[in-house]
Structure 1
Amino acid sequence: MSTSFVPFEFSRGEAVGGLLWLSVGALLSLVLEVVYLGAYITLPSGMRIAFPITILIAWWFSKVLTKTARLWTPNPLIAAIPLIVWVLGFFAFLVIGSTTGDQWLGSNIRTVALLFAGIIGGVWPFVVSK
């Protein structure tokens, strides 16, 4: 028995709901990525090394969100909504941090790498097609 993808019809409301949940997922992902961006691993010798695994997670999860959004709409701008929400959230962390005095994102290469990883991951499904 062969299992193949069967296209299905969905309403505009279902598409909007799907994109809304993908956007919520993008924001939740961003919060976790920012919180754990400064993670360290302590070696048995007591030495600590930076372990910014969230940079890879940002790339991968942004890619997943965009690929999923493309299932809901053929319009690339609409399919980019979760990526746009992620980027706006990233800059909101920067602005909120500078206005309140709290530093959510450090002034280091890991912050820049997180931004680029999230953007590249989100754009990847538009550039590379199977």
Structure 2
Amino acid sequence: MSGERIVRTDFSRGEAVGGLVWLSVAALISVLLEVVYLGTWVTLPGGAQLAVPYTIVIAFLFNMVLTRTAQLWSPNPTVAGVPLYVWIVGYLALMFGVEVTGDQLVGSNIRSVLLLFAGLAGGVWPLVRGK
């Protein structure tokens, strides 16, 4: 057995669309959870609290996985970026949803900005890096 990677290409257009839809659903769930848990604090033994915005790293890594998986369904970078576009739209909807719901989900702080940039970088990286 060689170390060669085998990529299956004998799928229909409907299967590709279905795959991208599921990746987009994962992107929406991901952005919601990343925003909700962005303000995580850990209480240290002395009683001090420390902000741990681990979802910034998760946004980078998970969007990278989503985009790389989308590239298996379509070699076209525009189509492979669909989960990233959905993630961005979800982030913006949560950010501007305060006008509709009255609840501010995306905070006005540097962690929210870092989450946005990490998500963008993770999603764009596989597209610009090539194979």
Q: TM-score range by the shorter chain?
A: over 0.9
How big is the shift at 1:100?
A: 2.1
Q: Aligned partners of 1:7 and 1:100: how far apart in 2? A: 44
Post-superposition CA distance 1:63-115 (Å, at most 9, x none): 00000000100111110000000000000001112332201011000000000
Runs of 4 or more above 4 Å deviation: none
Q: Indicate the residue corresponding to 1:2 in structure 2.
A: 2
Matched, 1:113 2:110: no
How big is the shift at 1:29?
A: 0.6
Where does the alignment leave 5 or more consecutive residues of structure 1 unmatched? Answer: none
What letter matches 2:2 in structure 1?
A: S
Task: Please give the secondary structure, in 2, of the residue aligned with 1:41.
Answer: strand
Where does the alignment leave 5 or more consecutive residues of structure 2 unmatched? Answer: none
Q: Aligned partners of 1:59 and 1:6: how far apart in 2? A: 26
- Structure-to-structure mapping, 1:1-130, within 5 angstroms: 1-2=1-2, 4-8=4-8, 9-130=10-131
Task: Please give the secondary structure, in 2, of the residue aligned with 1:82.
Answer: helix
Task: Please give the secondary structure, in 1, of the residue aligned with 2:57.
Answer: helix
What letter matches 2:14 in structure 1?
A: G
TM-score by length of 2: 0.94
CA RMSD of aligned residues (A): 1.1
Task: Please give the secondary structure, in 2, of the residue aligned with 1:94.
Answer: helix
How big is the shift at 1:4?
A: 3.4
How big is the shift at 1:2?
A: 3.4
